[in-house]
Structure 1
Amino acid sequence: MPRILGMFIAAITAVLLVAPTVAPAHAEAGSRDRTSVSDRALPQRPVTIWIKQTKATTRGVYVKIGGKATAWKHKPVMLQKKRNGVFRTIDRNRTNDRGQYSFRKFLRTGTHRFRVKVPKGNGYAASYSPVAGGTVTS
């Protein structure tokens, strides 16, 4: 019996060592995911985002975009806007003592989608907030 148990453990170990790694659900074929294999093994930091309208004009609205990056004090965050199907960094800021950040932007009429990227560091992989946004009408 101990020999069979030893063979079973050896077989399971061999399968685990040889088995191919599975890509995350968000990594589709041909995507622009540039994270390395070692980055995917790191945990992601929780990031929140919110958008609040501060002033409306005839050409658009002024908004405040903010949120919190847990355990990320006095560190950089990047505001990204989706354009032509790709998120591009449009502004940078740093978090405060509590990990909170904010941006002020003027949005013209149209649909806008934003997210915040927190770069990798302190044992965490690069993390992203959920996508937030909406449509501005005149």
Structure 2
Amino acid sequence: MSRIKILFLCTGNSCRSQMAEGFAKALKSDVLEAYSAGVERHGMNPLAIRAMAEAGVDISQQHSKTVDELPTREFDFIVTLCGHANEHCPYFPGQAVRIHAGFDDPPQLAKDAATEEEALEHYKTVRDAIREYVLHMPENLKKRT
């Protein structure tokens, strides 16, 4: 049985899409072949890496990339994780189904945090929401939003 090829797309491929790819690989690698990319490349967010490590998933070896840098452009599903990516999603050839599953932007949520620990709590909240979303894959891919 072939795995579902899924691309998690957000603006900078620094946080949300990296978390989703990490969880998909850690929790659903038997049914999903996961990738992530951004409309732009912003580099890996250190607090995203830390929040994921605290959840037992190492994304420190993943790297920020744009769609043009992916090894393939043929996917079964494209899941946009932020409004900007949803609005600026590039064209993908083939039969890819595009789904929007928006999540809050951790850096935006944490911008007024007084300490790194306080900022990290925002990353953990979004991380946990993304984990819950990925846990219900592929079933939730049938629901269009």
Q: Which has the higher helix share?
A: 2
Q: Larger relative contact order (C-alpha < 8 A, sep ≥ 6)?
A: 2
**Pair in the same fold by TM > 0.5:** no
Report the TM-score, using the length of structure 2 for normalisation.
0.22
